[in-house]
Amino acid sequence: MSRDVISHYKITGTLGHGGMGVVYKAVDQKLGRPVAIKTLLPERMGDEKMKKRLMSEARAASKLNHPNICTIYEVDEVDGNLFIAMEYVQGHTLSEEMSQGPLGIEKALEIAAEIVSGLEKAHRENIVHRDIKPSNVALTEEGHVKILDFGLARIVEKIAADTITKSNQNLSLTDEGQIVGTIAYMSPEQLLGRQVDSRTDIFSFGILLYEMLRGQRPFRGDNFIQLTQSILHDNPEPLKAIHPNLPVDLDRIILKALAKDRENRYPTMKQLQDDLVKLKEQLKAPAQTTHQDSIAVLYFENLGAPEEQEYLRDGLTEDVITELSKLERLRIFPRSAVIAFRDQAVTAPEIGRQLNASHVLAGSLRKSGNRVRVTAQLIRSDSGHSVWAERYDREMNDVFDLQDEIARSLATALSIKLTPTEDKAIGQKPAENPEAYDLYLRGRRLFRRGTRKDMESAAEMFQQAIVLDPNFALAFAGLGHVCGRIHRYYDQNPQWMERGIEACEKAMKIEPNLPEALSARAFLHYGHKEYEEAIRDAKMALERKRDCEGAYFVLGLALNITDRIEESTRLVDLAIEFNGDDYNVYLPYVTAFSRLGDEKRRKSLMQQLFRVLRMHLEWAPENARARVLLSSNYADHGDVQRALEELSKALEYSPNDAGTLYNAACTYGVLGYKKEALATLKKAIENGYRHADTIVRDTDLACLHDEPEFHLLIKKLSKP
Predicted pLDDT at 205: 96
Q: Are residues 690 and 583 in the same domain?
A: yes
d(CA 532, CA 716): 25
Tell me the mean pLDDT in the region 2-21.
79
Predicted pLDDT at 516: 97
Residue ending a domain, choose from 254, 284, 314: 284
Longest alpha-carbon distance in the chain: 94
Q: Are residues 304 and 221 in the same domain?
A: no
CA distances to 6, 261, 396, 427, 707 from 468, rounded to whole Å, are: 81, 51, 16, 21, 55
Query: 126: left (phi > 0), else alpha (psi -120 to 50), else beta?
Result: left
Q: Are residues 520 and 417 in the same domain?
A: no
| pTM summary value | 0.59
pLDDT-derived band of residue 151, with 50, 70 and 90 as boundaries? low
Q: What is the DSSP letter of 584?
A: G
Q: Is 189 within 8 Å of 195 (Cβ atoms)?
A: yes
For the CA atoms of the chain, what is the radius of gyration? 30
Q: Are residues 102 and 183 in the same domain?
A: yes
Is residue 49 in some structural domain?
yes
Question: Pick the catalytic residue: 28, 131, 251, 582?
Answer: 131
Q: Is 591 within 8 Å of 565 (Cβ atoms)?
A: no
Lowest mean pLDDT among 57-71, 481-495, 649-663: 57-71
Number of Cβ within a 10 Å radius of residue 594: 21
Instruction: Tell me the residue range of the domain where 62 lies.
Output: 1-88
Is residue 546 in some structural domain?
yes
Q: Is 335 within 8 Å of 321 (Cβ atoms)?
A: yes
CA distances to 4, 27, 39, 155, 719 from 7, rounded to whole Å, are: 10, 11, 12, 21, 65
Q: Is 527 within 8 Å of 511 (Cβ atoms)?
A: no
Confirm whether 131 is a catalytic residue: yes
Predicted pLDDT at 45: 57
| Bridge-based pairing state of the strands 359-368 and 301-302 | parallel
Residue ending a domain, choose from 260, 284, 308: 284
Dihedral (CA of 9, 11, 17, 20) sign: positive
> Buried (b) or exposed (e) across 366-396, using 16+ Cβ within 10 A?
bbeeeebebbbbbbbbeeeeebbeeebebeb
Q: Are residues 377 and 253 in the same domain?
A: no
Is residue 456 in some structural domain?
no
pLDDT-derived band of residue 636, with 50, 70 and 90 as boundaries? very high
Is residue 458 in some structural domain?
no
Is residue 432 in some structural domain?
no
d(CA 255, CA 242): 15
Torsion of CA 483, 488, 493, 498, to 10 degrees: 40
Q: Are residues 56 and 106 in the same domain?
A: no
Is residue 514 in some structural domain?
yes
Q: Are residues 80 and 106 in the same domain?
A: no
Residues 95-115: pLDDT tens digits?
A: 988 887 888 888 899 999 999
How many domains are there within the chain? 4
Instruction: Please state, rounded to an integer, the average pLDDT across all residues of the chain.
Output: 86
Number of Cβ within a 10 Å radius of residue 502: 14
Q: Are residues 206 and 333 in the same domain?
A: no
Predicted pLDDT at 177: 33
Supply the CATH number for residue 626's domain: 1.25.40.10
586 has a pLDDT exceeding 90: yes
Q: Are residues 109 and 202 in the same domain?
A: yes
Supply the CATH number for residue 1's domain: 3.30.200.20
Residues 250-295: pLDDT tens digits?
A: 888 998 899 998 888 998 999 899 889 888 877 765 433 333 588 9
Supply the CATH number for residue 256's domain: 1.10.510.10
Is residue 254 in some structural domain?
yes
CA distances to 566, 567, 676 from 560, rounded to whole Å, are: 9, 9, 26
Residue ending a domain, choose from 37, 59, 88: 88
Dihedral (CA of 587, 592, 596, 602) sign: negative
Predicted pLDDT at 103: 86
Q: Are residues 381 and 517 in the same domain?
A: no
Supply the CATH number for residue 407's domain: 3.40.50.10070
Q: Are residues 654 and 528 in the same domain?
A: yes
Is residue 444 in some structural domain?
no
Q: Are residues 420 and 482 in the same domain?
A: no
